[in-house]
A and B are shown apart, each in its own frame.
Chain A
């Protein structure tokens, strides 16, 4: 009962009642004895003697009462806490191991939930939300839909509650003399209602606000925007906000926590689709069936499966094909679960999350193996305790219950710590993705009861499994024998279990190491791979002239002046403008093409990507021209349309014959081919060269272009000058960040970088844990065989021989683990899939490196036990 005093936990009213009742009983018994003539002192003593052990009586009485299990639990908890508190090292390591495993799992699971399953906080019933994308016969690529098609789809279907138009748009907000970029969504008027999002102030959009060119300049702003830009102004409704030069009346404020419907970004504003012309340089296209820009969603009626909905939508798309053959032939519509949406960042994150999930599962296994190992060691240390308790009459069930309680305490502590870790990390995924162009990414991890429940279950199962081992061993204890002998015998089975656990750890660590090395190699190869243009010493930035309200004529003047001024800066070798930036998030324009001398098959319309550029682009980018000439300033609006094609197009369309002098049709215009350029990669380093052609910017003008500058000085030196020149021309422009093409390229490798970080971090951790496990087993083996080692040395074995003996057995165990791990790695590294770039999943270098690291760790782990073994004092060991 000593611990009761040290741990003053409240133990229930009933305890006090029983104590009180027994005290009164004693009092009465003593009083009766005094009445019969005993002295008060004798009476008290005799009454007590007759009564028996007060502690035992109250204990058995408590057990007889109904609420007993709760009290016993409290008692077990107190005892368990005390036991764990006596071995703080063990407790801390075990809890840390498990907390890490559980925390990592819960984080990644939270990310997966938040990004893939329920990506849009604040939106109701997301499981019924699907992405709606267009398809083209002959390609597997998904694209947008036009407004008229979208409206017809909605009209022709019955299995959907709503079709929701969604299109990400950017603008520049000017406050004072500072211009900053903002990101928002252009949506159909049903947007807020269909998503189940209610503005906290004002309203959403009304149905008449969906159409009518620029007829309804209204906007709903985000909660954060309201709080920060407008300082929570309660009279915000009715004020205006200017986007792209058009003042919009604020009609509503979105609720707190609603980020919009585009994975990766937190939206700042919403505008109705009628305002399309204000945000899209192509103008108002709600009546143009050929203008495809809608990144749509639909909400399925409850109980409708995706397959059923797809069948209906396919039939509707068929009708569109027959009704509008000129525009919609070969077009189809596909609906997809949100995590497969082609429009936002979810699909890019999928491979990263998959690798992450695999890694954290491994870490959890390793952590569990480690804790199991610790518990087994401890169970040995407690064998004597268990024996004594059994001998003193403790019930076996009571012992098991005690051990289970201890396990549960460990698991609970670990789960709570793990959940804390997960809670802190829930939005940490974004750390891997630096903000681009002033807009930060937001990846919202979902942290709900499912995450908590899963983590708790994992923690409990893994601990309890091994916590009860000592109890079952206790059941087999031969009491007399165990008490007589020192607790040294019959441990063979357990060391085999421990060896197996270490083996498992080594194997899992090995797989992680191989994976880490493979992705690391890939990353290195990607960094040194050439995309076909020079990446160093070229910087790029852009300013959205369209968003700043420029018309074509003004934009042309601006472009000319900017190029002129920048080229005059010291350190600038060449400069050029282009519509598209390779490896940026905005894809290149693409469209159907026709070529002289190439007969397209009837239902396979050839397409190509194209970029609009100014003269000097190839020199600036370092893209060699294979034949023909570059564009010149005289290739303008008034001259004959021209084009330069990529090398791979020559092969495909003209079977290698020179295309110069032939024509190619892009955007409905035939253009004379004047040159052939080397292929470049512009979407991803992993792509095979795609058909790409170039048009003079003047012949295919855009108000949204980027400026590329090749410099002989360091890129950093030129950045302020570039920004200064842009501001000198127009102080209201907000240039995107100025970055080198190298940085631009590096950003495209973020899945690999995340994977490398995760794999390396956890791989190293795994090796550390495995090393600790190996050390534990070896140290224990050495301590158990002191007698044998002493005998060997007494018979003439040299310390070196003993050392070698221990090292050999430790390394043998490691090698078996590595062999198992290698087999597992051979089978599983394929799963890294496109994370790997020009590296075989069975790359011998990766396996070799992992082998070296693992063996090195094993040597370190075995060193100390081996050294101790070699220093065994034969006389002392034998005398024991």
Chain B
């Protein structure tokens, strides 16, 4: 049996959030599937573990939508990999998703924070 990683507090990703994370990750340069997953995990300090069953469909869907490009290349460890890269359409989509995310978090924060002067 695998050992449980005690620090891993798994968080379910909100619908649509994965696209944002992928696009954001690819902002720093082309990357292959495993690299993207690792980067998201590292970036979230193990809080976000991307499920491969979500990652790859998302990658291929984004590719179909034209937000990212893909081609076969070679990794730094000389492994044949499928490398994804952000397109200009993807950059625009990233900007849009970022602002939407900000609106969402602001809104959620607003709901969660007790409004001033309404202490019961």
Contacts and interface: CB of A to CB of B under 8 A. Distances in A.
Q: Do A and B bind each other?
A: yes
Contact of B34 (A29, A49, A52, A65): A29
Interface in B22-36: 32-34
B42 to A, nearest CB: 11
A72 B48 CA distance: 32
B116 to A, nearest CB: 46
Contacts of A18: 56, 60
A65 B60 contact: yes
A24 B34 contact: yes
A385 interface: no
Given A25-B33, A25-B34, A52 B51 contact: yes
A64 B52 CA distance: 13
Nearest to A65: B60
Contact of B53 (A17, A20, A56, A66): A56
A61 interface: yes
Max chain B CB contacts within 10 Å: which of A46, A58, A61?
A61
Interface string A415-437: 00000000000000000000000
A206 to B, nearest CB: 67
A61 B51 contact: no
Contacts of A31: 77
Nearest to B82: A21
A28 interface: yes
B56 A57 contact: yes
A64 B82 contact: no
Contacts of A60: 53, 56-57
Contacts of A52: 51-53
Interface in A29-73: 29, 31-32, 45-46, 49-53, 56-58, 60-61, 63-66
A17 B71 CA distance: 11
Interface string B48-92: 000111001111110110000000000001011110000000000
A839 interface: no
Nearest to A42: B2
Interface residues of A, number: 28
Contact of B64 (A25, A27, A51, A65): A65
Main secondary structure on chain A at its contact with chain B?
helix
A22 interface: yes
A20 B80 CA distance: 9
Contacts of B52: 22, 25, 51-52, 57
Q: Contact residue range for chain B?
A: 20 to 34
B56 A27 contact: no
A781 B74 CA distance: 67
B79 A24 contact: yes
B57 A28 contact: no
Contacts of A22: 52, 56
A28 B60 contact: no
A20 to B, nearest CB: 8
A28 B38 CA distance: 10
A28 B79 contact: yes
B56 to A, nearest CB: 4
Contacts of B80: 20, 24
A63 B56 CA distance: 11
Contact of A64 (B33, B51, B64, B81): B64
A64 B61 CA distance: 5
Nearest to B35: A28
Contacts of B34: 24-25, 28-29
Contacts of A46: 2
Contacts of B59: 61
Contact of B60 (A32, A50, A61): A61
B79 A63 contact: no
Given A21-B33, A66-B64, A61 B56 contact: yes
A60 to B, nearest CB: 5
Contacts of A28: 34, 79
Given A21-B33, A28-B79, A49-B2, A63 B64 contact: no
B71 to A, nearest CB: 11
A17 B38 CA distance: 21
A27 B79 contact: yes
Contacts of B64: 64-66
A28 B75 CA distance: 11
A17 B58 contact: no
Contacts of A63: 57
A17 B82 contact: yes
A31 B75 CA distance: 14
Nearest to A66: B64
Nearest to A33: B2
Nearest to A14: B60
Max chain B CB contacts within 10 Å: which of A17, A24, A56, A66?
A24
Contacts of B60: 18, 61, 64-65
Nearest to B56: A61
A58 B2 CA distance: 24
Nearest to B49: A50
Contacts of A58: 56
Contacts of B51: 52
A601 B59 CA distance: 96
Contacts of A25: 33-34, 37, 52
A135 to B, nearest CB: 71
Contacts of A20: 80, 82
A796 to B, nearest CB: 64
B69 to A, nearest CB: 14
A178 B82 CA distance: 81
A64 B57 contact: yes
Nearest to A61: B56
B58 A64 contact: yes
A24 B53 contact: no
Contacts of B2: 45-46, 49-50
A472 to B, nearest CB: 30
Contacts of B57: 60-61, 63-64
Contact of A57 (B53, B63, B77): B53
B57 to A, nearest CB: 4
A66 B32 CA distance: 20
Nearest to B3: A46
A57 to B, nearest CB: 5
Max chain B CB contacts within 10 Å: which of A27, A50, A51, A65?
A65
A358 to B, nearest CB: 53
Interface in A3-29: 17-18, 20-22, 24-25, 27-29
Closest 7 CB pairs of A and B: A64-B57, A66-B64, A61-B56, A64-B61, A28-B34, A64-B60, A65-B60
22 contacts: A18-B56, A18-B60, A21-B81, A21-B82, A24-B32, A24-B34, A24-B79, A25-B33, A25-B34, A25-B52, A46-B2, A52-B51, A52-B52, A52-B53, A56-B53, A57-B53, A60-B53, A61-B57, A61-B59, A61-B60, A65-B60, A65-B61
Given A18-B60, A25-B34, A64-B56, 13 more contacts: A20-B82, A21-B81, A24-B33, A24-B34, A24-B79, A49-B2, A51-B52, A52-B51, A53-B53, A61-B60, A64-B64, A65-B60, A65-B61
Interface of A: 17-18, 20-22, 24-25, 27-29, 31-32, 45-46, 49-53, 56-58, 60-61, 63-66
